[in-house]
Amino acid sequence: MNSKKKLFLGIFLLITGMTVTAFVRQSEPWTTEQLMAPADMAARINKKDASLPLLICIGPSGIIKGSIEVGPTRDKENLDKLRKLVSKEDRNREIVIYCGCCPFEHCPNVRPAFVLLMDMHFTHAKLLNLSHNIKTDWIDHGYPVK
């Protein structure tokens, strides 16, 4: 293969990779502003007089102190439990959901739950940024557990 073809192929692959990366980033139902840092959530839990959001576990293990467990929202029955739980809440209430079973790109629970909150018009819905898993991003930091 001559150098012009190699250069063209390299540029083509670079552009294709950048396009796919941009598409994947735009396809998430949450924005970066809707991600809550674990350290921020832990600080709020540890501060006794702080107003706390409704903290909901939408994964297999609700171990964060003060959280309500609805179960993995990849299952319709648990997604329905989430809907019922939040249905009477003020749409301006701060709600933070978390899973932590695996990295976000593989998680079957965060997207259906977050989309549900958006569809229900919650204006302060957030996803706890456990981008790797609950152990790495929460437990290993010594953040509060039940």
Domain ranges of the chain: 1-29, 31-141
pLDDT value for 14: 56
3-state secondary structure 55-117: EEECCCCCCECCCEECCCCCCHHHHHHHHHHHCCCCCCCEEEEECCCCCHHHCCCHHHHHHHH
Its pTM stands at 0.79
Residue 27: per-residue pLDDT = 84
In this structure, are residues 54 and 93 in contact, taking their beta carbons and an 8 Å threshold?
yes
Average pLDDT per consecutive 10 residues, the chain (146 residues; last block may be shorter): 62 56 62 95 88 94 93 96 97 96 93 96 97 95 96
pLDDT of residue 82: 98
What local confidence, expressed as pLDDT, does residue 23 receive? 45
What pLDDT score does 78 carry?
A: 97
CA angle 55, 73, 89 (to 5 degrees): 40
**Domain 31-141 falls in which CATH fold?**
Oxidized Rhodanese; domain 1 (3.40.250)
